[in-house]
Amino acid sequence: MYELIKRGEIPSWRIGRKIRIDYDSLMHYLQGDSGEKRPRGYSDAQEDVSSDNGFCFMGSHDLSVELLAEFLNHSSSSLSLKTIFKGSMQGLVALYHREAQVTGIHLWDEKLQEYNLPFVEHILLAEAYTVVNLVQRTQGWIVPAGNKHNINSWEDITKKGFRFVNRQRGSGTRLRIDQYLLENKIPVRQIQGYEKEEQTHWGVALKVANGEADFGIGIQFAAERLGLDFVPLFKERFDLVILQETAEKPEWQQIQEVINSTAFKRAVEQHIGYDTSLTGKIVYETPHSAKVRH
């Protein structure tokens, strides 16, 4: 986030020691060069995101979110979880606008060497919120079986003659990719396929499996499921974020019970590349004295 602000890609201003960002400019950044303006309060979802017996998740894609929805949708309670997979940044903005009750993010701040919290603080500046870990997972290069191109490290992203498949703007994976390019002063024009974007880890893996790309970044499970090779690059924290007004509802307590259950954790652990040692832990909660809505 700090790098985006410093480069002037997202305009901001200061309120005391805090930095406030401009939401219209943030949405313009997330939409790329389309030039389409997203009105405040507008939802990309085709259905109403709230209902009497359901919660809406809008945020980054992950298998654990799909599993959570399955557990809830097949439980004895009437609570259901609707999932709309967007990028991490889009999810935070949707949460701010009350377009979703919960979001999932994995945003790495290189300057602070911290996951998620710096971004939540910037976007939910005047809100009271709670951040809960859902899973930790491993991301890396997804390459064809046998890794005939010998892609083994970040440096290989500029190998000539090999086709890369990217993730969409606003996703945590895309942010990690762009941070590496920025730090190492690598122009995007040096990467064949940089402009080719996929919305999910499965999309990246399918492009590689179908021979439409030679490599991309995604989760280990997606690579293994499609018979592809995987080269680990980093382990990340995938957190859920909710506003305090939601955290106090009984529906959220039901969701927490599922997340903390042995059955859910075992289901997640059946998939390679996942770690549930922090699952259900509160990463951050707005101090009681600061829980004031503006």
Output the pTM of the full model: 0.80
User: For the chain, first and last CA: distance in Å?
Assistant: 23
Q: Is residue 35 part of a domain?
A: no
Report yes or no on 291 lying in a domain. no
Q: Digits of tens for pLDDT over the chain (294 positions)? A: 444 444 444 444 444 444 444 444 444 444 444 333 333 333 344 344 444 557 899 999 999 999 999 999 888 778 899 999 989 999 999 999 999 999 999 999 988 999 999 999 999 988 999 999 999 999 999 999 999 999 999 989 988 899 999 999 889 999 999 999 999 999 999 999 999 999 999 999 999 999 999 999 999 999 999 999 999 999 999 999 999 999 999 999 999 999 999 999 999 999 999 999 999 999 999 986 455 444
Residue 147 lies in a domain: yes
Residue 131 in domain: no
Query: For the CA atoms of 109, 111, 112, 113, what is the dihedral angle to 10 degrees?
Result: 70
Residue 133 has which token pair? 């870990």
- Domain of 163 in residue numbering reads as 139-235
Predicted local confidence at residue 51, as pLDDT: 47
228, part of any domain: yes
- Do the domain assignments include residue 14? no
| Residue 231 within a domain | yes
The answer to whether the CB of 60 falls within 8 A of the CB of 106 is yes
CATH number of the structural domain spanning residue 148? 3.40.190.10
- Tokens 């889009």 label which residue? 90
Per the structure block, which two tokens stand in for 136? 């930790």
CB 217 within 8 A of CB 140: yes
Number of domains the chain contains: 1
Q: What is the pLDDT of residue 290?
A: 52
- Among residues 201, 227, 203, the alpha carbon closest in space to that of 144 is found at 227
The answer as to whether 294 is a domain residue is: no
Q: Beta-strand (E) ranges in the chain?
A: 12-15, 18-21, 54-59, 80-85, 103-105, 108-109, 114-115, 129-143, 164-167, 197-198, 215-219, 229-243, 274-275, 282-285
